[in-house]
Amino acid sequence: MFNDKVILITGGTGSFGQKCTEIILKRYKPKKLIIFSRDELKQWEMAQKFPTQNHPIRYFIGDVRDVERLNRAFQGVDYIIHAAALKQVPTLEYNPFEAVKTNIIGAQNVINIAIDQGVKKVIALSTDKAANPINLYGATKLCSDKLFIAGNSYTKRNGTIFSVVRYGNVLGSRGSVIPLFLKQRETGTLTITDPNMTRFWITLERGVEFVLSCMEKMVGGELFVPKIPSMRIEDLAMAICPRCKKEIIGVRPGEKLHEVLITKDDAKRTLDLGDYYIIQPNFLFWARRFNYVGSKPVHDNFEYNSRTNNRFLTVREVRKLISESKELDFD
């Protein structure tokens, strides 16, 4: 599907964007891959890894807040992966207007310009924090999710289609707790918010592969959720440094003790497809598009919660995952 096509990644210099670029260039032959992001230094650093003279790649400085720049960047684009977002929970609690400008208004800009420029497919990245949100980041991403799903109602028949992928914490992504623990290990003390805290975890590579596979499957309107394991924060600390002192610092502003990927309220619209779920939209366009053969509805009280998940990573599995991750220096 990606061969001889023009693909654009917003927020393309982030952890996801760089791994996605690596996988697309390795497995496919795109006509062009456009990296759209705000940070010129990160683009310069990425260009050392993926030089334009060796790859069909172009780097665009721009912000999803800037409609004029999006209009220019989206010309001739076939597929868009929307990964641009402000996502640091404590930071956004104290800078709420900035979160709204990027995560909500930026999403609306991407939707409108993609329709205007005739982009075929747009898939947006979401987060477990968008399900029953208690922090501003989660609230803005929930709003963004709903905008992208509703975007299918604004496009003409056979026009641009929009879907969303929602998953949990990414192993080793910038700002995650694992790089912090690896750094703190040198001091002999790890700071733990709450030993009972649990999180969904997915490797960066699997996250990218899931997004690309969903982009091939999508008919527009789905919210895709992968089946992934949970991890106890205490087990993570034990895996990284079993002899380190553990200092309990309390839950940070806007943090949950456990995360949810699918709420009980969404259960009535959720389908189980084996390795993943989809949450169906409440829109008329869905009925004529729906074609998921072999799917089955979940039970009415279903909730996909990191605390009650039927799959937890053991300390040994956590150590193995970190050791195998090319993005982390565990030794």
Catalytic residues, by residue number, are 129
- How is residue 95 written in tokens? 């800078």
Query: CA 192, CA 209: separation in Å to the nearest integer?
Result: 31
Amino acid identity of residue 279, one-letter, is I
Name the packing angle between helices 315-324 and 233-240 (round to 10°). 60
Between CA 81 and CA 324 the distance in angstroms is 26
Structure tokens at 142: 């929930």
Express the helix, strand and coil content of the chain in percent, nearest 5 each: 40, 20, 40
The secondary structure of residue 293, as a DSSP letter, is T
Residue 300's CB is within 10 A of a number of other CB atoms, namely 8
- Tokens for 14? 């982030």
* Kind of pairing between the strands at 296-297 and 270-272: antiparallel
Distance CA 321, CA 314 (A): 11
Distance CA 16, CA 204 (A): 7
Contacts of residues 41-44 at CB distance under 8 Å and 24 or more positions apart, as own/partner, are: 42/13, 43/13
Identify the DSSP state of 258: S
Q: Do the strands 57-61 and 230-232 form a parallel or antiparallel pair, or are they unpaired?
A: unpaired
Compute the distance between CA of residue 217 and CA of residue 163 in angstroms, rounded to an integer.
10
- The dihedral over CA atoms of 52, 55, 61, 67, expressed in degrees to the nearest 10, equals 140
Q: Maximum Cα–Cα distance for the chain, whole Å?
A: 60
Question: How far apart are alpha carbons 103 and 98 in whole angstroms?
Answer: 8
